[in-house]
Amino acid sequence: MKAKNQRLILALLGLVAVIGAGLLAVSGLKQEAAFFYAPGDVKDNGLPLDKAVRLGGMVADKSIKHDADGVTIHFVVEDGRAQVPVTFKGIAPDLFKEKSGVVAEGRFQPDGSFVATNLLAKHDERYMPPELEGKMHKTGTLKQ
């Protein structure tokens, strides 16, 4: 084999690797990107049932209920336009409380409720998830 040819083959291989990475990433992103929803978005656009998403909003007043097992909680997330009941099994973050912001990671159920695998509570201003801040400014649930 000539040096020129080998160089060409190597360059092509490099190109194939980069394109392969791109294709792999795109197919993965199509399936696994977790989009951010506010309760109102679900009301407008229907339930995203097929994949994990993030649900963000305010924990409704007097909505937190504890199950008898001591580790499962139920609460309602609202954004001024709609409400979504959420179930979460685990240790809630310290700043998780009623009338405060929350981002729940998990899946919607066919009945319109949401099962969370993880909760992110609003810490102080410095550690607020930007997507939550943006959404809540938009919907006017967060007053500054």
Partner 1 sequence: MIAEIGLGLLWLAAGLAVLQSVLGAMSLRVPSRTDLGDAVRPIAVAQAALVVLAFLALIYLFLISDMSVKLVATNSHSEKPWLYKFAGTWGNHEGSMLLWVTVLAVSGAGVALLERRVRRDTLIATIMAQGIIALGFYAFLLFSSNPFERLNPAPADGQGLNPLLQDPGLAFHPPTLYFGYVGMSIAFSFAVGALVTRDVGPAFARAMRPWVLAAWIFLTIGITAGSYWAYYELGWGGWWFWDPVENASLMPWLASTALLHSVTVLATRDSLRAWTVMLAVVAFSMSMVGTFLVRSGILTSVHAFAVDPERGEFLLALLFIYIGGALALFGLRVGTVREGALFEMVSREAALVLNNLFLTVILGVVLIGTLYPIVAQGLGQQVSIGPPYFNPAAGSVALMLIVLMAAGPLMRWRGDRAGVVIRRAALPLALGGLVLVAVRLAAPNIGTLPWLGLSVAALAGAASIAPLWKRNLRRTPLFTWGMVISHLGVAVALAGMAADSAFMQERLVAVNEGQTTQVGPFSVKLVSIAPTIGPNWTALEATMEARRGAGNPFTLKPQARSYASPPTETNESAISTRIDGQLYVVLGKMGSDGRWQLRLWWKPWVTLIWLGGILIALGGALALVGRVWRERKLIHPEAAR
Interacting residues with partner 1 (CB under 8 A)? 1, 3-4, 6-7, 10, 13-14, 16-18, 20-22, 24-26, 28-29, 31-36, 52, 54, 66, 69-71, 89-92, 94-95, 105, 123-124, 126-131, 134-135
Strands (E), 79-112: 83-89, 101-108
Dihedral angle, C-alpha 52, 53, 56, 62, nearest 10 °: -30
Residue type, 131: E
DSSP letter at 67 equals -
Output the smallest distance, CB 60 to partner 1, in A: 19
Whichever of 6 and 109 has its CB closer to partner 1, that residue is: 6
Output the smallest distance, CB 116 to partner 1, in A: 14
Q: Tell me if residue 52 falls in helix, strand or coil.
A: coil
Output the smallest distance, CB 125 to partner 1, in A: 10
Please enumerate in sequence order all residues whose Cβ is within 8 A of that of 84, keeping only pairs 6 or more positions apart, or say none.
39, 42, 55, 57, 76, 77, 78, 112, 113, 114
Whichever of 3 and 143 has its CB closer to partner 1, that residue is: 3
Whichever of 58 and 135 has its CB closer to partner 1, that residue is: 135
Whichever of 64 and 80 has its CB closer to partner 1, that residue is: 64
